[in-house]
Amino acid sequence: MPSPSASAASSATVDTAEPLRRNRNFTTLLAGESVSHLGVQVATIALPIVAVTYLDATERETGMIQAAATGAFLLIGLPAGAWIDRISKRRVMIVANLARAVLMGAVPALYLANVLNVSWLIALALGLGFATVFFDVSYMSLTPQIVRREHLHAANSALTTAETFARVAGPGASGLLARAIPAPFLLGGGTIGYLASAFAASRLRVDDTPRPASGRSLGAEVREGARFVFLHPLLSRTAIAVSIWAGFNQMAQALMAILVLRQMGVGTGEYGLIFTVAAIASLAGPWIATKSVARFGAGPTIVWSMAVSAIPPLVAYVVADVAPVSVGYWTIMATFCVGWAALPVFNITHLTLRQQLCPPELMGRMNATMRFAMWGVTPIGALVGGELGERIGMGHTFVIALVGAVASWLLLAGSRVRHVKTAAQWLADNPDEAARADALVAGSGPVMAAEAFATAPDAGAVVGSAEPLAPSSTPGLPDFAGGGEIPETEDGAPDHPTASRP
């Protein structure tokens, strides 16, 4: 069993890296998710069109559909992480995607049988949400096992760029196709996307052996992950702030399709165009994230990107509710462009930071706890938004959501997060946090990555500086300076201390 110093030294001696585009596991994952995102984006835009234009859903019903889609984060968000830490994450991804493919394909089948209704949409959305919880937590926890820890920022940027490209093509295609093809059939695109993702996951060659059974109960392990997050001075504050924002934001999002499609009378093509143009703007997000983190640090980037992504779209809903249709439409589009350009900045920077701060043994439980904290409140927000939309009107509901979003950002802006430059710097300045993480997994065997990360001289280079990045020969996949290669195992996974730790 390696000692902390030995593991740190080993990590430090591997100071060159293969380009991400030559990491077979990563390129397989990226290819699968690229196809998946395109199909899913078409289906995502088609779903509210089905609910509002085909099934004539009310404000309350659209809120219930939104709540069902995210309710799983509240119901099983915490235990999912502990379960996933006990089993193969890759297999969980495959099974979850196959389940989502079947559920998404049920929509056109029910439409052809002439039995599709709002109740079916709610039930299917709930099932999709359960599968999504398991996929998302596994996906976020597996990525650090197939790329080097200091390359997580670039890997997350590449994956986000792939999703963004899908958002460029998907919504516009969905809105236009909905004019010629019944919208329920468009959800078949989601089935194709999920099958592609399942196939890609099946091709991954990574040591994903579940950790040995600890003999502890599931509840004890859930509490262990929750303690790590909610007692962490950085992760706890971001989790709470984003949780408040997500609840209020979902109040507004539950009513967005009704505002645009029904109250404003915008066509399905113009509705999809909003998301397409905003997605084009979001292509700048990964580049902005790298530049902002290099210049200002991870913490300030998280703070400003949350403000820009969270607040302007809600302002637009307030304006669109009272302004002429043309003014409201272009205001929504403009603020979506601004907000969507900043959203990848927040997602990439925050995900990378928390992955670098977390020990591998707690990765699944940490991600599940963060998802539970940040998104568990969204079904409540959707239900409240739908109810308030019917009782006090959409305009007042949008104002309430805006005030809540501003309050959530102020909570984050006033925290210690704004002072963080890099994960390595923060861990070096706060050795007690590394020791606390060590204590949580004491006796589990492998050395704590948090401690190794804090002592390795090259750790955190990507988060702290853009210097290691070199011009890429493949769009969206930056190469890294150095020119050397990491020795590979027989299955192509990079052979380094944190690459494939169980």
Of residues 483 and 187, which shows the higher confidence score? 187
Answer positive or negative: Cα dihedral of 104, 109, 114, 115: negative
Say which residues have a Cβ less than 8 Å from residue 495's Cβ, sequence separation at least 6: 486, 487, 488, 489
**pLDDT confidence bin for 458, thresholds 50/70/90:** very low
Distance of CA 88 to CAs 138, 212, 307, 348, 352, Å?
Answer: 9, 12, 37, 25, 22
Residues 79 and 136: beta-carbon distance below 8 Å = no
Please tell me the predicted confidence (pLDDT) of residue 444: 44
Q: Is the pTM of this model over 0.75?
A: no
pLDDT of residue 474: 30
Residue 467 has pLDDT above 80, yes or no: no
Quote the CA–CA distance of 273 and 264 in Å, as a whole number.
15
Q: Are 353 and 302 in contact (CB under 8 A)?
A: yes
Q: Which of 159-168, 273-282, 332-341, 464-473 has the lowest mean pLDDT?
A: 464-473
Tokens representing 369? 């706890």
pLDDT interval class at 417 (50, 70, 90) = very high
Annotate 126-180 with three-state secondary structure: HHHHHHHHHHHHHHHHHHHHHCCHHHHHHHHHHHHHHHHHHHHHHHHHHHHHHHH
Domain boundaries, the chain: 21-205+217-429
Query: In this structure, are residues 196 and 39 in contact, taking their beta carbons and an 8 Å threshold?
Result: yes
Please tell me the predicted confidence (pLDDT) of residue 3. Answer: 36
So what's the pLDDT on residue 457?
A: 32
First-to-last CA distance in the chain? Answer: 13
In sequence order, the 6+-apart residues with CB closer than 8 A to the CB of 32 are 196, 197, 199, 200, 201, 203
Tens of pLDDT, residue by residue over 237-253, are: 999 999 999 999 999 99
Tell me the C-alpha distance between 330 and 216, whole Å: 56
Cα–Cα nearest to 307, from 408, 414, 420, 417 = 408
Q: Please tell me the number of Cα atoms within 13 Å of 201 on its side-chain side.
A: 26
pLDDT tens-digit profile of 296-331? Answer: 999 999 999 999 999 999 999 999 999 999 999 999
In terms of DSSP bridges, do strands 477-480 and 469-474 run parallel, antiparallel, or are they unpaired?
antiparallel
- Residue 73 phi/psi, 5° resolution? -60, -35
Strands in 305-351 per DSSP E: none
Name the residue with higher pLDDT: 373 or 175.
373
pLDDT-based confidence at 186, cuts 50/70/90?
Answer: confident
C-alpha to C-alpha distance for 243 and 80, rounded to whole angstroms: 18
**In this predicted structure, what is the pLDDT of residue 501?**
29
The tokens 């603020």 sit on which residue?
A: 335
In this structure, what are the phi and psi dihedrals at residue 438, rounded to the nearest 5 degrees? -60, -45
What's domain 21-205+217-429's superfamily in CATH? MFS general substrate transporter like domains (1.20.1250.20)
